[in-house]
Structure formats: structure tokens, C-alpha cells
Structure 1
């Protein structure tokens, strides 16, 4: 039951964090949250069957602290891209590398908007050449994540959880404070 993850939205429908199924059911049962979308899974107790939620929304607004800028690091690049190769879509987990979309030798900088996660095969295939020369495309345009909260949500691979996509920014740079205003 706790292997499933539930997206928790703030009262304003902004993504807040990810919790376990057990925690989500407790929040629903105590009236602290409402069910927004359900997963196809059901959990049974001796007397009750619960449909496991996929997305819940808190009744009270949680004010988020002001967080300083997110550190640029390999770990955060991989988290932003959900440990998925941005060229082929393969998910190789911890064995991912990072790649400069515009190679450094051609003037590419080491910034959020020019670095993506890549599997070893795609990184070797692309090498030190521009994308158009090797006929490769990016799955998603790289951008700086909106906040550390967004990176925490991305670590749970929302690409596999279709129902979450409505509530997450289209790219990493979207505004998390009013995602669905």
C-alpha cells in the first residue's frame, strides 16, 4: 500500500509534496483533505474498502517558506528530469549522465537551460556535436525548476503518473504557487 504515492495539492491547487497512500487516507478520513482524483487501486480493511487516491487537496492553505535559489548540481538535474534520458526516454535510474545540449566546445554554458540528463548510449551517440547534426531531439526543453518542492515531486517520476500532469507545471520553470488558479 505504501509503495503508491499520492500528490498533495495546497488549497490553491498548487502542488505541495508527495505522500504515502497511508498518509493520504488518514488526511481524507480526518477531513483535512479532499479527494481530487482516484487511482484504480483499492485497499481493504476488515469492514471498509477505500479507493486509493492519486491526487488530494488540503482544506487549509499551507504557506510555503521562501526558499533560496536551487543549487545547480548533477543530482538536481537528474531529479528535474526524473532520472529519464531526455533524448530517448529511457529511465536508467542512478546510472544517468548529464549532457550539454549545446556542447561546451561550441560555446554552450553549464546552466539549467543547457544541461539535461542522458543515458550513456545517447550521451556517447551525441558526443561533441549539435543535436541537428546527429538527428536527435529533446523530449522536453530544459529549464530551471520553480522550487525545491518541484524537484521533490519530480523525484517520484510523475511521467508515469498521468493524473498528476494536470497539476504540475508544463516545464520546470512554471509557477508552483498558482498552478491551477
Structure 2
């Protein structure tokens, strides 16, 4: 009876642990899989194995794979755009915010496998509207910083488009030809300074 009790207790604990697995846990695992293998990496059974969960846990939170992808994309949008904007917006000086933003996102672009994967599937019906919304949000936010610096709205929009293009270009370069980017720390800092000088009024 003691062994049986321990086994049933272990199963109960395992089930309890699976109950505590949240939709956010699944979305985070799916987003990691996208960074590793693209949308094809979002498959229920491998993700369940990774999470130590069952398929039943998945269907408790999501009706199908598409719903999981949507949740992962929402998580990406919040973490890679909205959270960055919140972090940058703390400083009252728009010029400092712009420099910090450029340094942060261009620096991060060297390791951003998720954005590379999403750009590769930007025409997918689930990905396309999110990419459009995120891109417009980024451009609009950067344009607002230039406007705070006294740049007219049309010119601010043009500079913002250039800034976002620089970021996306770095994402692609870091993926396709990382050796073309500065490797040494001092050289990288000079590179960032040159970008800021080119973009800031």
C-alpha cells in the first residue's frame, strides 16, 4: 500500500504540476520554437515534451495550433516592441531615448533569431497582420521622438523609416553574413555612433 500510495501521490503531483502550466508557458515555448525552426517548429507534441506536459494541457488552453501561434505572436509583439518602448520612454530627453533605442535594438539584432524567422514567413496569414502592426508601431514611435526634437512631421516619418530600416538590415546581416558587422567592442560602439550621427538632427 505504501508503494502504491507513493505512486498515486507522484501521479497526482505530476497532474497538479501540469494544471499549473499556463497558456503563457505554452506561448513562450512556441515563440522559442519559432526562433529555432520557424513556424514549422510549432508542433504540439514536441512542445508538450519540452514542457513536460500532455496534449491535454495544450487543449485546455488552446483550441488548435493556429491559436497557439497567435498567442506566441502576441507575446513577441508585447516583448519585442511594447516592452522596449516602455523601457526607453523612462528618460525625458527624446535625443537620449533615440540613442538608447538605436543602441538597444541594433545591438539585439545580432542575436534576434525570432525576427529573422518571422520575416522569412512575413506573408503567412497569421504573421502578416502582426508584422504590419508592429512595423507601423515602431515607425510611429520613432517618428514621435524626432517630432519631440522639433523635426517636422513628414521629415520625422522619413527619418523613422530609415531608423527601422537600419534595424531590419542589421537583423538580416547578422543572420546571413555576421562577419560583415563590426566584431570588436570599440568598433561596434563607433558603428552605433555613426548610425546616431546619420539619423539624429
Q: What is the TM-score normalised by the length of structure 1?
A: 0.23
Bigger relative contact order, structure 1 or 2, given CA contacts below 8 A and separation 6+? Answer: 1
Rg: which structure is higher? 2
Tell me the TM-score normalised to structure 2 length.
0.22
> Hey, which of these two has a bigger chunk of strand by percent?
1
